[in-house]
Amino acid sequence: MIKALIFLLFKEMEGGCRIMATSNKNRMSVSEMIEQQKKKRKFFNQLERLIPSLLLIIASISVLTTIGIVYTLFAESVAFFRNVPILDFFTGTILKPLSQNPEFGVLPLLNGTIISTVIAMLVAGPIGMMSAIYLSEYAPDNVRRVLKPLLEILAGVPTIVYGFFAFTFVTPLLRMIFPSIEATNILSPGIIMGVMIIPMIASLSEDAMSSVPNSIREGALALGSTKLETTFKVVIPAALSGIIASFVLGISRAIGETMIVAIASGSSKNFTFDITQSMQTMTAYIVEVAGGEAAAGTTIYYSLYAVAFTLFVFTLIMNLLAKYISRKFREEY
């Protein structure tokens, strides 16, 4: 029905053109033609009045998506918490969904998520930040123009490709150096996740630093500061809110990242802090359980939603926090 409406509206435009062309032969004046057209337009004018509502309906799809996500996650999580006490879920250190006496403690997953995120940020934080400093403060224009898009490519590589790379290249490489590392471990995907997040932190931090006006840099340089001092003592403090926001968004991205950890970190649900071992993140758990075609209605099926809900809340908080920081502490130069 919507399509038909759109079709009609588009048809009307073309019709208008054709009438103009044919009526030319009858030597009508333009104003006469416009008058004639007006009558025919009435119907379409009414149709045109519907356009805002039509567009509003389309625009509301994104709102419906949010409602859909929150509703499904919430409703099915409620079903889950009917079977598993909410306290047991959030404080349990044992996760054995497939055993005879299944236990659903989310802490092993939270632990895996946090550890992989920390590893990723240890890579992406300093390297992304230093790249941002180089691009914003040091790089000559022509070098920046080459390096920036190249760095963006890193962000465009599908995560499955990173997962493959972590599993088949980085892990064997790490095992050559540290033989005690397991074939699936949290270290390797953590590092590669960090590499994936570098461009995000680099580009957002660079934006924040570039928006610091040059006059402030000149003020510092004119006092005899080196570029390094200008950067660390003036530019970075001035851009701090944007830089912190970029880190928070990086964390959010790491928490939500799925394929790299699902492939390279295996599915061990141990509650451990040993980064040479396999650990499962919340996202990887969802992949494992959903891919195993858990039958609808079982506790393990509902556990998907409880875990996803936890994940959703975590990333939402991070994203809102990032927005809050960059808005609240934005410098007005």
Partner 1 sequence: MSTVMEKKINLKLVRNPNENNEPEAEKEVVYDTKGLNLWYGETHALKNINMEIKEKEVTAIIGPSGCGKSTYLKTLNRMVELVPIVKTSGQITYKGKNILDKSFRVEDLRTQVGMVFQKANPFPKSIYENIAYGPKIHGIKNKKILDEIVEKSLRGAFIWDELKDRLNDNAYGLSGGQQQRLCIARCLAVEPNVILMDEPTSALDPKSTLRIEELVQELKKDYAIVIVTHNMQQAARISDKTAFFLNGEIIEYDNTDHIFNNPTDERTGDYISGRFG
Partner 2 sequence: MTTKYMDAQLVEKRMSSRVRKNTGWKGLFFASTLFGLVVLAILLVRIFTQGMEYINIDFLMNHLSTDASRAGIMGAILGTAWLMVVVIPVTMIIGVGTAIYLELYAKKGKLQSFIATNISNLAGVPSIVYGLLGLTLFVRALEFGNVILAGGLTLSLLVLPIVIVAAQEALRAVPGQLSEASYGMGATKWQTVRRIILPAALPGILTGAILALSRAIGETAPLTVLGIPALLIPFPSGIFDTFTALPMQIYYWTIDSSLVAEYANLAAATIIVLLILLFLLNSIAILIRNKFQQRY
* Least Å from the CB of residue 333 to partner 1: 7
Nearer to partner 2, 1 or 87 (CB): 1
Taking CB within 5 to 8 Å according to partner kind, which of partner 2, partner 1, none is near residue 122?
none
Q: In angstroms, what CA-CA distances link 215 with 205, 219, 234, 301?
A: 19, 6, 11, 59
- Identify the H or E element spanning 23: helix 2-23
Nearer to partner 2, 98 or 143 (CB): 143
* Least Å from the CB of residue 135 to partner 2: 7
* Least Å from the CB of residue 255 to partner 2: 7
* Least Å from the CB of residue 61 to partner 2: 5
Q: How far apart are CA 286 and CA 288, in angstroms?
A: 5
Question: Token pair for residue 293?
Answer: 């075609």
Q: Pick the closest to residue 148 from 136, 162, 161 (CA basis).
A: 136
Q: How far apart are CA 290 and CA 305, in angstroms?
A: 10
Taking CB within 5 to 8 Å according to partner kind, which of partner 2, partner 1, none is near residue 215?
partner 1
Question: Token pair for residue 263?
Answer: 């492939």
Taking CB within 5 to 8 Å according to partner kind, which of partner 2, partner 1, none is near residue 295?
none
Taking CB within 5 to 8 Å according to partner kind, which of partner 2, partner 1, none is near residue 172?
none
* Least Å from the CB of residue 90 to partner 2: 19
Q: What single-letter amino acid sits at 231?
A: T
Nearer to partner 1, 293 or 332 (CB): 332
Taking CB within 5 to 8 Å according to partner kind, which of partner 2, partner 1, none is near residue 238?
partner 1
Q: How far apart are CA 261 and CA 284, in angstroms?
A: 6
* Residue ranges binding partner 1 (CB under 8 A): 140-141, 213-216, 218-226, 229, 233-234, 237-238, 331-333
| Three-state DSSP class for residue 222 | coil
Q: What single-letter amino acid sits at 331?
A: E
* Least Å from the CB of residue 114 to partner 2: 15
CA 47 to chain centre: 39
Nearer to partner 2, 273 or 316 (CB): 316
The burial of 9, by beta-carbon neighbours within 10 Å (0-12 exposed, 13-18 middle, 19 or more buried), is given as: middle
* Least Å from the CB of residue 322 to partner 1: 21
Taking CB within 5 to 8 Å according to partner kind, which of partner 1, partner 2, none is near residue 331?
partner 1
Nearer to partner 1, 35 or 218 (CB): 218
Taking CB within 5 to 8 Å according to partner kind, which of partner 1, partner 2, none is near residue 318?
partner 2
Nearer to partner 1, 231 or 252 (CB): 231
Buried b (16+ CB within 10 A) or exposed e, 249-281: bbbbbbbbbbbbbbbbbbebbbbbeebebbbbb
Q: How far apart are CA 38 and CA 84, in angstroms?
A: 68
Question: Token pair for residue 208?
Answer: 């924040």
